[in-house]
Amino acid sequence: MQLLLTAILLPPLLGAILAGIFGTIIGRVASHRVTVLGVLISFICSCIIFKNFILDHQSTQNIIAYTWGTSGAFQFNVGFLIDNLTATMLMVVTSVSLLVHVYSIGYMRGDAGYQRFFSYISLFTFAMLMLITANNFFQLFFGWEAVGLVSYLLIGFWFTREPANFGSLKAFIVNRVSDVGFILGIGGVITLFGTVDFLPVLAQAPKVAASLPTISLFAGTSWSIITVICILLFIGAMGKSAQMPLHIWLPESMEGPTPISALIHAATMVTAGVYMVARLSPLYELSASALTFILVIGATTALFTGILGVVQNDIKRVIAYSTLSQLGYMVAALGASAFAAGIFHLVTHAAFKALLFLAAGSVILALHHEQDMRKMGGLRRYLPLTYSCFLVGALALAAIPPFSGFYSKDAIIEAVHLSTIHGASYAYVALMIGVFVTALYIFRAFFMTFHGSCSANSASQDNIRENGWVIWLPLVILAIASITIGMIVKHADALQLALHAFTSLPFWLAIAGIVTAWFCYVIRPAIPAMLANKFSWLYYILIKKYGFDDFNQIVFVRGTRALAQLLYNYGDQRLIDDGLVNGSGRLIQWISATLKRLQTGYIYNYALAMIIGVLALVLWQMLIA
């Protein structure tokens, strides 16, 4: 088993090193070959693990591969925890990663940073695999930070572009904010359980919780420690999985190359938070307050970020907001204790969202890096394959049976409906409206892009054609996956569920969304503009994204800057520069001047210093004795 895991983890790392360090030597083709080969090996081995665990129901394995260091009672291990959850995640990560690797060969062709790109995504795959195979918090944190780092590097991949730099910084900083929560959570786990390994923590959790440990965060209040830990850890997840109000970085992350958006910001990395909560589900089960918190955050994110998707004009941003919204669904599922449903949605979402992104990328590539949907339209004729793939993805996203998204989303909505914790009814309503909104925004994008009249000029229209096989093959594979995953998982009652859908509310809400989109963007394209005029205040709010960005910009960015300026003027300049630095500089000058008087270079001075030293020590010791 350990060998198998090594074969999963190391090839991407090796590929990253080869492409990264020796990229210029071995050339472009060799670079993508080694990285693709590395991920392919990972993928094959993941398949074996998937077969062993999911199909053959092997029992959970906890392997300690290497003890990195020991500090008191703590051991810093590199270890692996393999169970059904890990096996599923392995499958998702390696398969999407493999497809994105292949896709990138076409998408990144001709880019100056070709080798760098492949090195990064391979490194990302390695880090993500470390994250999901971890058996302890430290390794999880290592993977957590490593994927964050690579994500930062990839958002800013085109670092000469201003928005790319801004976006990467934003992603980095927002994630640091959430990391504070995560680190505090890990600290809490260590103090409460005395270990960082998952299995002992989860095993002890019920016993510890039974003793109702509390902590007084503010004077006079008393909090359940388990709740505090759960919420702190979830704050970490909120940053990584882009939940409100820490979601603001994800739309900006679209400045990175599209394959990255598909791999990192849709299918894998952003789901790390969901994965983490699912991994620790026994812990979360012990705290109803934490679950309520999660449920409300998730449902809010699912609805309100979805609404924002309706007013976006950049095709990638629409899908990005859709990602936010879908992540909200997953988190809401976790909050409703439907961990399996959450992970199920994670899997199906990985497939159809990667599909949507890659299809969008295909469009963008065909239009020579044009992302504004207002300049698209009527592409159905030129890109039939992309068109159909995007349609599959959109249908899956809108939860139309029998596409995969239907099964997972249906499970979530059912679970929230049945949930009895506080906030469940609010969440249920929010998710319901979310279904309508989802269908609306994705089909709006669909109609704007592929239907209507083509707004590109006729000369460039001739140039629009389908891309090579490295682009469309991953699309087709993902499309097939998007159609079938749901049915495969629910194989027994797939048909029954699909039929039952026709009598359920979510289905009709989705249909309503599609029809609305069709009506507003194909039949009467004037309606949206009119609505925007009429409800200009609402439109303004939406365009401003509820003011999160401005709020951050004004309060945090300007506030921090003002504070920084203040600190700079008074703290840095006066106190530190004048006082400490120059002061310590002066002090050091003085010290070294004094010491120079001793460090004369004369032997007898040195000898004298030694003798005085001995004398002082002897006198001191004699006086003590």
Partner 1 sequence: MTLLQFIFYVFSALMLLSAVGTIISRNPVHGALFLVVCFVASAGIWLMLQAEFLGLVLVLVYVGAVMTLFLFVVMMLNLDKLPSRAGFKKYWPFGILILLLLVGLMIYVVAPSHLSLASNAIAIPHPADYSNVQALGAVIYTQYVYAFEIAAVILLVAIIAAISLAFHAFHQDTKRQNISKQVQTTAAERLRLVKNMGKE
Partner 2 sequence: MFNFTLILPELFVLCMVCVVMLVDLFVEQRQQVLTYALTQLTLVGAAILTLCIYCIPTTANFSGLTVHDHLGSVLKLAIYITSFFVFLYSRNYFRQQNMGKGEPYLLGLCSILGMMVLVSAHNFLTLYLGLELMSLPIYALTALQRDKEQALEAAIKYFILGALASALLLYGLSMIYGASGSLDITQVANVIGANSTQHPLIFVFGLVFVVAGLAFKIGLVPFHMWLPDVYTGAPNAATLFLAVAPKVAVIGMTIRLLVECLPGLQVQWQELLIVISVLSMILGNFVAIVQTNIKRMLAYSTIAHGGYILLGFIAGTAAGYSAALFYTLAYAIMSLGAFGIITLLSKQGFDVETIEDLQGLNDRNPWLAFMMMLLLFSMAGLPPTIGFFAKLSLIEALVSTHFVWLACIAMLVAVIGVYYYLRVIKVMYFDKPLDNKPFSLAWDAKMAITINGLAILYFGIFPGALITLCQQLFWSGTMLN
Judged by CB under 8 A, which of 55, 72, 369, 462 binds partner 2?
72
Applying CB under 8 A, does 622 fall inside the site for partner 2? yes
Among 370, 542, 345, smallest CA distance to 440 is for 542
| 265 class by beta-carbon count within 10 Å (0-12 exposed, 13-18 middle, 19+ buried) | buried
Distance CA 546, CA 548 (A): 6
Judged by CB under 8 A, which of 6, 67, 560, 565 binds partner 2?
67
We find the least distance from the C-beta atom of residue 598 to partner 1, in angstroms, to be 14
Applying CB under 8 A, does 180 fall inside the site for partner 1? no
Applying CB under 8 A, does 601 fall inside the site for partner 2? yes
Size of the site for partner 2 (CB under 8 A): 30
Q: Which residues in 368-488 belong to E strands, given as ranges? A: none
Distance CA 384, CA 394 (A): 15
Distance CA 169, CA 156 (A): 8
Distant-in-sequence, close-in-space partners of 332: CB < 8 Å, separation ≥ 6: 294, 295, 298, 299, 302, 412, 416, 427, 431
Applying CB under 8 A, does 617 fall inside the site for partner 1? no
Question: Measured from the CB atom, is 66 or 604 closer to partner 1?
Answer: 604
Structure tokens at 151: 């994500």
Stretch that binds partner 2, among 43-51, 307-315, 548-556, 599-607 (CB under 8 A): 599-607
Amino acid, single-letter form, for residue 527: I
Applying CB under 8 A, does 581 fall inside the site for partner 2? no
Applying CB under 8 A, does 622 fall inside the site for partner 1? yes
Structure tokens at 607: 């000898």
Question: Measured from the CB atom, is 55 or 625 closer to partner 1?
Answer: 625
Radius of gyration in angstroms for the set of CA atoms belonging to the chain, rounded to a whole number: 28
Question: Measured from the CB atom, is 67 or 600 closer to partner 1?
Answer: 600
Q: Which does 601 bind (CB under 5 to 8 A by kind): partner 2, partner 1, none?
A: partner 2
Stretch that binds partner 2, among 90-98, 179-187, 211-219, 585-593 (CB under 8 A): 585-593
Q: Which does 621 bind (CB under 5 to 8 A by kind): partner 1, partner 2, none?
A: partner 2
Applying CB under 8 A, does 55 fall inside the site for partner 1? no
Q: Which does 624 bind (CB under 5 to 8 A by kind): partner 2, partner 1, none?
A: partner 2
CA angle 212, 217, 219 (to 5 degrees): 110
Applying CB under 8 A, does 618 fall inside the site for partner 2? yes
Among 49, 106, 113, smallest CA distance to 83 is for 49
Judged by CB under 8 A, which of 55, 59, 71, 420 binds partner 2?
71
Query: Interaction with partner 1 in 294-333: which residues (CB under 8 A)?
Result: none
Structure tokens at 419: 């949930």
Among 437, 252, 418, 174, smallest CA distance to 328 is for 437
Size of the site for partner 1 (CB under 8 A): 9
Applying CB under 8 A, does 29 fall inside the site for partner 1? no
Distance CA 610, CA 621 (A): 16
Question: Measured from the CB atom, is 69 or 220 closer to partner 2?
Answer: 69
Question: Which ranges in 519-552 belong to alpha helices (H)?
Answer: 526-534, 536-543, 548-551
Question: Measured from the CB atom, is 543 or 610 closer to partner 1?
Answer: 610
Query: Interaction with partner 2 in 321-350: which residues (CB under 8 A)?
Result: none
Applying CB under 8 A, does 615 fall inside the site for partner 1? yes
Coil, strand or helix at 238: helix
Query: Interaction with partner 1 in 550-609: which residues (CB under 8 A)?
Result: 602, 604, 608
Distance CA 264, CA 482 (A): 18
Distance CA 201, CA 568 (A): 44
Stretch that binds partner 2, among 40-48, 249-257, 373-381, 595-603 (CB under 8 A): 595-603
Question: Measured from the CB atom, is 68 or 556 closer to partner 2?
Answer: 68
Distance CA 302, CA 41 (A): 36
Residue with tokens 């095993």: 203
Judged by CB under 8 A, which of 48, 68, 100, 104 binds partner 2?
68
* 516-520, Cβ contacts within 8 angstroms, sequence gap of 24 or more: 516/440, 517/439, 517/440, 517/441, 517/442, 517/443, 517/444, 517/446, 517/447, 518/443, 518/447, 520/444
Applying CB under 8 A, does 459 fall inside the site for partner 1? no
| N residues, the chain | 625
Q: Which does 617 bind (CB under 5 to 8 A by kind): partner 2, partner 1, none?
A: partner 2
Annotate each residue in 14-53 with x if it binds partner 2 (CB under 8 A) or - if it does not, as one string.
----------------------------------------
Judged by CB under 8 A, which of 611, 613, 617, 620 binds partner 1?
611
Binding site for partner 1 (CB under 8 A): 602, 604, 608, 611-612, 615, 618-619, 622
Binding site for partner 2 (CB under 8 A): 66-72, 588-589, 591-592, 595, 598-599, 601, 603, 605-607, 609-610, 612-614, 617-618, 621-622, 624-625
